[in-house]
Amino acid sequence: MQLLHIDSAITGPQSVSRQLSREAVDAWVAAHPGTQVSYLDLAADAPGHLTQDALSLRVPPAGAFSPAQLRENAVTERLLAQFLAADVVVIGAPFYNFSIPTQLKAWIDRLAQPGRTFRYTANGPEGLAAGKTVIVALSRGGVYSTSEGGRAIEHQESYLQTVFGFFGITDVRFVRAEGVALGADGRNEALANAARDIRRHTQGAANEAQVAQVA
């Protein structure tokens, strides 16, 4: 089994999402011996945001690819191949300005390739990356999941659920640490809740939604 571990927080050792993603990976490997882990730190090795050159895979030029387009295509192919090869993806995703880090968004933009991770059909879009388990370790300074108003301005978990679902991934599990900026008690409670989420989400089989559907 191949596991891809991704971090996106820019705060280094102080990052709660990095701590939680590492704990989730360690727990998964302990529960599933033989798992092979690869690591991508998007804060240290972030792909560039989409440009016309980066879009050349989707909209090929009339002539030959330029050197800039070839470089961007190589980045996209590397990230896409790494993602598609993984059976399990663990992502550390902090909450920046109501959404995810731009580095994580840039990575997702490279994955969104027609004919590779999704396609449009007469019946609508179809995801092509089914069969994976995605575990997202979320960290938030405040609490957003427990109120209608909070959920309305939260574009972190909701976006990731949507985009991975668009890719055809039905087994998306969230580890939530909410309220880490609300004093020592709030932080401790958030980390305790996240630890319970990690235990729950790493003990079962991969791709549980599809397994249940087949059964």
Q: Residue 88 is part of a domain; what is its CATH number?
A: 3.40.50.360
pLDDT at 86: 98
The two three-digit tokens of residue 23, written as one number: 């704990």
pLDDT at 111: 97
State the Cα–Cα distance between residues 207 and 39, nearest whole angstrom. Answer: 20
State the Cα–Cα distance between residues 170 and 107, nearest whole angstrom. Answer: 20
pTM over 0.95: no
Query: How many distinct structural domains can be found in the chain?
Result: 1
Strands 118-121 and 124-127, sheet pairing: antiparallel
Q: What is the pLDDT of residues 26-70, one digit of tens each?
A: 999 999 999 999 999 999 999 999 898 888 877 777 778 899 999
pLDDT at 213: 38
The residue segments making up the domain with residue 40 are 2-214
Q: Which helix (H) or strand (E) holds 127?
A: strand 124-127
pLDDT band at 209 (very low <50, low <70, confident <90, very high): low
Q: Which helix (H) or strand (E) holds 106?
A: helix 102-111
Instruction: Report which of 207, 170, 195 is spatially closest to residue 26, judged by C-alpha positions.
Output: 195
Q: What is the pLDDT of residues 12-30, one digit of tens each?
A: 999 999 999 999 999 999 9
% of the chain at pLDDT higher than 70: 97
pLDDT at 215: 32
Q: What is the pLDDT of residues 143-185, one digit of tens each?
A: 999 899 999 999 999 999 999 999 999 999 999 999 999 999 9
pLDDT at 60: 74
Number of H helices, E strands in the chain: 7, 7
Q: What is the pLDDT of residues 88-136, one digit of tens each?
A: 999 999 999 999 999 999 999 999 999 999 999 999 999 999 999 999 9
